[in-house]
Every structure is written in structure tokens, then in C-alpha cells.
Structure 1
């Protein structure tokens, strides 16, 4: 197999790789593939090879270029990309973005965020990028030097399903194959002068570190790419382990005792996996180490551990994660019998019923029905003949920790609490058997 590949012209190797990537991804006839076109040699080759394959594959090809405004040549690059697309009969989507030069994450990171936000606006089934094997090796080195874990060291994937999915058809090829294709087909491309600026970490790796590595270890780039693939397999296995551990510990709301029966490594893995499932960045390892230590030594009392963007909460034997984003307490809203009312990030739904929930007649007799937050002195009698209990006592009995109490919706009928989300209905407003009623439910 290797000998056959070696006899194949370098430019043909690139086209075979692109065709194979399309097949592996399952790109179907009628789907739209959008090339993220910078104008450099990699994306130019990708655009050209996809244009040659679109007739066979039956897919629609478009391209998008993001003008960052960071170079004096940015206008020329945009026009070069437009001309390349016109020559190939490819629909062209240009975007102009503003990049924060003072972004705390750095100029490269700010440009990347702006670029991906623009590309997300293109209507397509697949976004295709021109990353190749040398890029993969550099990415691994860059991330390892920043202390990346298994997920970060896994590098880039050739195929990422999604809406849209992401394709990197050249990821298995050396840059030399990509350049050979461009020369064989007489392609022209632009050179970004910032790629030579060694003040940027990736450029320093590319121009100073990687050549030294390859001199000492000629197979360094493919070896690093293979290592990335192995890290990715390990990451998949860690995700599967986290799913098993979550199920064994009670599901979404974890049983604290069962969770802490696991090793520290598995607890951290599960928390990290859960945080990523929330669409958030996993915290630094040191922060997770400290959180697990506190979980083990803290008594069985309400506990809320900030992890940066997310908090680990424990109360009454249960443990869960919640986003740190501040959600303002909603203002009181008059209820006129609507089927639902918004509440915070969710809503309160009112369902007609018979013999359960709030008495429809009591609600209709009321002068004012409000959905709002708790108030000082709020109390509620849960059953006939039982004493009225304070809001604090009701929350303690229901297992609602203090930091969640301000977010509970309360239905206030002529100044009295008739229903409190997660707690229940006041006895004096409860529907009698056979009587029309309304059941409020807080969906969040």
C-alpha cells in the first residue's frame, strides 16, 4: 500500500485525500460545502480540489472569506479570493469583522473568535478548513506547552458532525503535498506576512522549533499527528467512563456519597465531562483538585464551589453543576389566565385540571393574581389544620439551598402566597375533588 502511494503523483495524493474525506463524512448529493477561504495555499488547494469533485459528489460548493482588517493587504486578499471563486464558478461570501486588539486572550484568539462567528452565518451543511498534518503537529505542540489535558492534546478532527459539520480533508497530508498540488495546477495564492512574525507563538513553533525537531527526528510530524489521534481515542474513552459513572451515581443530580466513593481522578473526569456538556470551558486541573478535596472534607451542609463559569453545588446528599451567569430576579407579572408566563430562563406553565392544583373559582374571585419573587414574611400552609410555615422552613424541608431561593416563582393571590415553585400549593387555595382547577408548573 505504501509503495503504491509513493508512486502516486503528490498532486493526485491531495485530491484522493479530499475525496476520501468526503466519503468518510458522508457528504450527500444536494448538501452544501463551504470552504473557509483565507486565500493561502492550503484553503486555495482545498477550494480547487472540491471544485473538481463537486460534479462527481453532487454537492454544492460555496466559499467564505473573513476580512479581519488587521493587514494593509486585507482588501487585496479579499479580492483575490473573490477572483478565485469567480474562476471556478463558486458562490462567494465575504465578511468584514472588527477584531479587539486589546482582547485579554490575545490578538490571535480574538481574530479566531471573530472569524468563526462570521463563518457560522453561512447557510451550509459542512464547513471545510484547509488544515494539514503539519498544522496538527503544531497544534499538539502548542497545546502541550500550555499544559493541555487529553482533550486539548487530541488536536483537530478530520470530521466533526454538527450543524453544520466540520471537515478537514487535508489533515492527513503534509504541507509539501498541498504545495505540490497547487504548483501542478498552476494555482496562485496569497501570503499573509503575519505568518512570519515570530512574536506569535504558533509562528515561533513553525519556524524555529519544528525544523529543529524534524532535523533530529525526521518522522516527527506524522508521529505527533498519530499521538493526537491516540489522545482523541483516550478522550472518547474518558467520556464513556464519565457516562457510566454518572449513571451509577444517580444521573443528572448526583448522589454525593456514591460520587465520593469513586477515585479523585474519576470524580474530576465526571465533573469535567459534565461542565463541557453544558457548553462551558472546563476549569484548570488545580481548581478541580481543590473542589474535590472540599467535597470530601466538607460536612453534609449546603456547599457551593465556584469553578469559573460554573459552580459545583451540594445539598442534602445531592450534587449538581450550575452556570455562574447571573440571572436577574424577574419582576412581578399580572396573570390574566395565560397558558404560560416567562420566568427567568424558563417559564411557568398553567394547565387546566379537575380536582387538583389551584381552585379555578378562587383565582377568578381574586382582585389581583401576580407571578413574582418571594417577599419578606412570606408563609404558606401546606395542609388543612397545619400551621403556616415560613418560606425559609418550606425551602429547608423541600431541600432547596439558600442560593436558589430567590429564583423560585410565587403565585400571589390578593397578597397571599397561593403556590410556590418546587414547594407546592397553599391549603386555602387548593382545588376540591371534582372542582375545576389550574396546575402551575415551573419549567427551567
Structure 2
């Protein structure tokens, strides 16, 4: 049996992330890999919101055991009365940037599924230890405010992507699953030293004075600062956007007067413009997110030269920076 206090805590955490209320009728979609953290979340959600929970497991077809792990989740869901779907990745992930590419494909599948079932939100099982690892990884790469804000508790895509477990430690989630006899598996890739995250996980484990909860708290404070800057950014987007005459497709590109703004504001506005133009043109590759380093791009623009980032070409026209899809490469 699950501890009732833990179930109530989870229900309160999900409600807080969603702004105070969990709609009583809408489905709650969960991404469940079969690991101890996601299985604990599944058990907590099923107990806290009976009849509302739907679960999905993504089989990336990268490991032979993945199909059996998805069946394990499906079997538990049958016993618990929770609808379950296995989402199979149709196209090969490839051998380069495997984790990043797998993550992008996984979220595409999960978001599409959650929208199809009419879910109010899609919850993932990211926890405080994940947040601490992300904070350290991005700090080591020299990330700015947006990157150091780490994993957001709530992120709007086609649906609300929520992380109700960011205040939970991985050890308590594993202990909860064990105590309630909830089955789970440990993904061997989580111990593979070839991946950056695995090395930072080992650093936290072997360095007692690096407190994961405190690092996660620091990321939360940075996220607050990031949210304030985003409000300023939204205002600047309306006041600094330029629409030149004789432009046939103004929605497919962006023109911004950014030359006299502080570098952090330029950095954020560039990210917004790149995201906007990528979305308008359906550009998915290469991967571009808040942790992508755009300092070389800024250096080039401030020097008055053209540069590319995330499939977007950015050029300087006097004081205005133009963001447009990168032209296709000419064949030889």
C-alpha cells in the first residue's frame, strides 16, 4: 500500500504546478519509462486521481529489453485500471547524439498522444536529483540564466508539460516503489559513463558536500529570475519588432532592432526569434533549446557579420537583425 501522506503530497504538488487546481474530469497523461521514479509517479497519480490517469511508454527500439519493459508497465496498468499505450519509434534514432535525438522523438510522440486523448497535461517524472544534475551540466558548459534555470516545473507546448516531482529525491521515490511492491527496472544506459549526465550523477553521488536538494533549489531561484526576464522579453518583442515593406512572408521570418540592448537581453531575444522562425517554418533539425550555446552567434552579429544557428540564418541590416530559414546547401 502507498503511504497516504505521499499520495496527498503528490496531489498537492501536481495542483501547484497547474496553478492550484487539477481539473476533475480531464485525463492526466503520464510518461512512464518503467524506471523507479516514473513507476512511483504512476502509482501516486493513480491513487491521487483515480479514473483520470492515462500512461504511455515509449519504445525507442534502441535496446532489446525495451519492449519487455513496456509490457511490464502495461501489465501494472491493467491491474490498476489505468489505460496504457506503448508508443514505438518508427524511424531509426541513429548513432550520433543518441540521447538528445531520442529525447526529441520521445517528446514528439508523447505530446501528440496526450493531445489525442484530450489530456489536460503531460507529466514526466523528473525529480530533484535530475534537476541538480542538469544544473551542474549546464554550469560546466557555461550556460546563462535560461540554461541554469534547468528543468521547468511547467512548460507549454501543444499541451502543458509538467514535472510534479521536482521537489522529490530519487531515493524516496525508489523507496516508495519498493515499499508498495511496484515493479520497476533500472535502465543500463543510466550507468553508461559515455554520457555526460552519468558522469555528473556519479559526481553528485561521490561528493557528499554537493547537496542535490540545494542545487535544485538554486535552479528554482534562477527559474524565478528567468520568468521575470521573459516578461521583459515579451514586452520587447512587441516594441522592437520591425516589419519591412515588400516582405511577402513576414510570418516566416523575424526582424528585430536589438543592437543597443544589453547582451543578456540580446541573447534571450535571439533565442525567441530562432524558436519563432523554426516553429513557423516547421524546422525540427538541428536540435535547438535553451541550453544551446549561442555566444558565437552573438559575437558575429555584434561584429556585423552573418551567422547561422539551429537552421536559422541571422544577418545584420543596419540596426536590425534578420532571422530567416537557412538556405539549402548547394550541391556540388
TM-score (norm 1): 0.61
Q: Secondary structure at the match of 1:178?
A: helix
CA distance in structure 2 between the aligned counterparts of 1:250 and 1:69, rounded to whole angstroms: 44
* Residues 122-133 of structure 1 aligned to structure 2 (within 5 Å): 122=113, 123=116, 124-133=119-128
Q: In the alignment, is residue 289 of structure 1 matched against residue 283 of structure 2?
A: no
- For residue 42 of structure 1, the aligned residue among 37, 45, 48 is 37
Alignment deviations for residues 114-164 of structure 1 (CA, whole Å, 9 cap, x no partner): 222221231233111111111111111122223322112111122234432
Assess if the C-alpha contact under 8 Å between 1:127 and 1:166 holds in 2.
yes
Change (3 A) 1:90 1:311: same
CA distance in structure 1 between the aligned counterparts of 2:73 and 2:82, rounded to whole angstroms: 10
Assess if the C-alpha contact under 8 Å between 1:11 and 1:177 holds in 2.
no
- For residue 172 of structure 2, the aligned residue among 177, 186, 194 is 177
Aligned length: 301
Greater percentage in strand? 1
Name 1:231's counterpart in structure 2. Answer: 222
- 5+ residue gaps, structure 1: 1-9, 296-303, 328-444
Change (3 A) 1:193 1:117: same
Change (3 A) 1:185 1:279: same
Change (3 A) 1:283 1:91: same
Larger radius of gyration: 1
Greater percentage in helix? 2
* Residues 289-368 of structure 1 aligned to structure 2 (within 5 Å): 289-294=299-304, 305-315=307-317, 318-324=320-326, 326=328
Name 1:274's counterpart in structure 2. Answer: 273
Assess if the C-alpha contact under 8 Å between 2:304 and 2:316 holds in 1.
no
TM-score (norm 2): 0.79
Name 2:191's counterpart in structure 1. Answer: 196
Name 1:76's counterpart in structure 2. Answer: 68
By how many angstroms is 1:263 displaced?
Answer: 3.9
By how many angstroms is 1:43 displaced?
Answer: 1.0
By how many angstroms is 1:323 displaced?
Answer: 2.4
Name 2:52's counterpart in structure 1. Answer: 60
Change (3 A) 1:43 1:266: closer
Name 2:101's counterpart in structure 1. Answer: 110
- 5+ residue gaps, structure 2: 245-253, 280-287
Moved more, 79-88 or 283-292: 283-292
